[in-house]
Amino acid sequence: MEFSDLIRTGRAQAKLLRGPEAPPLRGTLCLTGHHLLLSPGPQATSELWLLLLRSVDSIEKRVASDSGTITLRCKDLRVLQLEIEGVEASLDIARSIEALSSLESVITSFPFFYRPKGLRLGDAWHFHPPERYYKRVARETNAWRLSEVNEDFSVCPSYPRAVIVPRSVDDGALARSARFRQGGRFPVLSYHHAPSGTVSPPLPRLCLLDQLRPFLALFCTGPANSQRGCSRPAPTLFGCAQSCLQQAPPPPAFLDSDPAPLPSFGVSPIPGPAPGRSGPLSLVPSLSTLDSSTAYSSGPFPL
């Protein structure tokens, strides 16, 4: 589909009414695939008026004997009125605006056709190289370094060749940590605020989960260590849990003390099973052990 197929009339003489505070603008109205333009002419002092057709929400049209009026209600709550000379030209322009402002395909919108002056397609890392930004950060703090671990884009395909990483983490640890993250996006410096020292993301610390990930990877893989040429036994899930317990903080002191006895409220505890007896414990006493005179009057709510 071509935009020219939807434009019935591309040019007409018109007057634009933009509101009570703005003066009317007269000139030549031009209709393109994405914009509506009104040029006041070379002798006028006002600038070129431009409207994106995608911003039009609804159109109202009225015709008279020799002219027509088009009211445009825009998505930014503006209301514009065009008085166009000629009935046929008014109807053609109104139908063209309706067709061009309601295209469903996203690839027909203006950003896919815009070509600014001086645009150079290709490698864009030269606009903001990480080396230039690292020089600014290095003058303020010594906590970061410039790494080339992603020189061939093998660690993370969406990162540049040079990245700013914590100085305390070597390239080997970065490559290993990238395998456990989505798209290999290991932590790098993206912003540094010099007055407060705030960085984004914060300086990473090796958490317990990161320490256990190599063991969990060995535990979850199918073949045994002997088939991989490793002489050490494969760590079990119990060993991983035991490592977690060893590195966990000690419990609070109040958990080591004996719990306080619960109030009985006049109800005796349920006796346990007799010695040597097996099977489930019955919580219902035998009827032969109950006194018929006191069986239903010894509870907290006597009948």
Q: What is the mean pLDDT of the segment spanning 112-134?
A: 75
Q: Is 159 left (phi over 0), alpha (psi -120 to 50) or beta?
A: beta
Neighbours of 24 (CB within 10 A): 10
Higher pLDDT, 143 or 234: 143
Whether the per-residue pLDDT at 144 is higher than 60: the answer is yes
Runs of H (alpha helix) within the chain: 87-100, 130-138, 171-178, 208-220, 237-247
- Starting at the edge strand found earlier in the chain, the sheet holding 67-74 runs 49-52, 35-39, 25-31, 11-17, 79-85, 67-74, 56-63
Neighbours of 26 (CB within 10 A): 16
Q: What is the mean pLDDT of the segment spanning 174-183?
A: 87
Catalogue all structural domains in the chain, each as residue range(s) with its CATH number. 3-112 (2.30.29.30), 130-200 (no CATH)
Q: What is the mean pLDDT of the segment spanning 209-233?
A: 48
Tokens in use for 215?
A: 């063991």
State residue 73's pLDDT score: 95
Q: Is 16 helix (H, G, I), strand (E, B) or coil?
A: strand
State residue 290's pLDDT score: 47
pLDDT in tens, 37-85: 998 877 666 678 899 999 999 999 999 888 999 999 999 999 999 999 9
For residue 196, what pLDDT band results from cuts at 50, 70 and 90? confident
Whether the per-residue pLDDT at 30 is higher than 90: the answer is yes
Q: What is the mean pLDDT of the segment spanning 12-20?
A: 89
Residues whose CB falls within 8 Å of the CB of residue 218, separated by 6 or more in sequence, listed in order: 225, 234, 235
Higher pLDDT, 146 or 235: 146
Whether the per-residue pLDDT at 154 is higher than 70: the answer is yes
State residue 301's pLDDT score: 45
* First and final C-alpha spacing in the chain: 90
Task: Supply the mean pLDDT for the chain.
Answer: 74
State residue 227's pLDDT score: 43
Q: Are 16 and 24 in contact (CB under 8 A)?
A: yes
Between 97-111, 137-151, 154-168, 231-245, the lowest mean confidence (pLDDT) is in: 231-245
